[in-house]
Amino acid sequence: MIFLILLPLAVTSWTVPLELAIGAANFHDFGSISIDSDSEGNFTGFFKSSLNPSQLQKSLHQNLAGQYKIKGGSVSSSSSACLMLKSGLKHEFHLTIDGLKQKILSLTVFPQGLYDVGELHCDETDIKHNFPSKLQGSVIITCVKDLPSPDVTTYLQRMEDEKRARQHGAAQDNRSFLAKYWMYIVPAVIFLLITNAVGTDQQAEG
């Protein structure tokens, strides 16, 4: 009988508060993105809004030419208020994070499904979406991992040892002649064997 032992996965999570400003208005609470990681270092994000969609829709209609600005901690991003209305208030968040330090390095918000818009023109007739009862948003996370720092102490010690060896003469090598130079001898022997074999074949044909 085989018994399986299930070990709990080490999962960490943290929350990024979001703030919103439309046009020249001040920033105010918009919601949050929660970031979860599993034991394999994979990260997923979930958006949760604290705003009423109808209130947001009204503010956007009043600022069609304004900027839709999202801030998360020390990073921020902006899009067009018009495009957010055209997308039906569907957000797509792109986050670059430092998973070890639980830090947001960059934040970009897109109106979902609208990337290449060309010349922007927006009026009431362009807004044809049925708006959701709850704000929606997908989260795409890219994790940047720190490169290991070089071992400077070991490197300097090795350089010092090599310098000392050159000054006082390298340590005596007690290996045999064959052990030292086998990598040069073997190819030469193989070359001679092949050359002799070819020469013998040519003599036999002659």
pLDDT of res. 106: 92
The model's pLDDT over 60-83, given as tens digits with 9 standing for 90+, comes to: 988 888 899 999 989 999 988 888
pLDDT digits (tens, 9 = 90+) for 173-196: 556 666 656 676 777 777 777 767
Tokens at 132, concatenated: 């959701």
* pLDDT of 92: 92
- What is the pTM for the complete model shown? 0.62
The CA distance from 136 to 117, in Å, is 21
pLDDT at 48 over 90: yes
pLDDT at 100: 85
With cut-offs at 50, 70 and 90, classify the pLDDT of residue 30. Answer: very high
| Confidence bin at 26 (pLDDT 50/70/90) | very high
pLDDT in tens, 127-146: 766 788 889 899 999 988 75
What is the average pLDDT across 121-132?
69
- Say which residue, 178 or 10, is predicted with more confidence: 178
Provide the pLDDT for residue 83. 85
* 74 token code pair: 């020390």
12-26, 31-45, 62-76, 165-179: least confidently modelled range: 165-179
**Closest CA relative to residue 111, chosen from 80, 141, 133:** 80
pLDDT band at residue 93 using 50, 70 and 90 as cut-offs: very high
> Which residues of the chain form beta strands (DSSP E)?
12-22, 28-37, 43-49, 67-72, 75-80, 90-98, 103-111, 136-143
Both tokens of 137, joined, read 């948003």
Tell me which residue of 39, 16, 20, 10 sits closest to 95, measured CA to CA.
Answer: 16
Report how far Cα 65 is from the mean position of its chain's Cα atoms. 33
Q: Does the pLDDT at position 7 exceed 60?
A: no
The stretches of 94-151 forming alpha helices (DSSP H) are none
Domain definitions of the chain by residue range: 12-143, 152-200
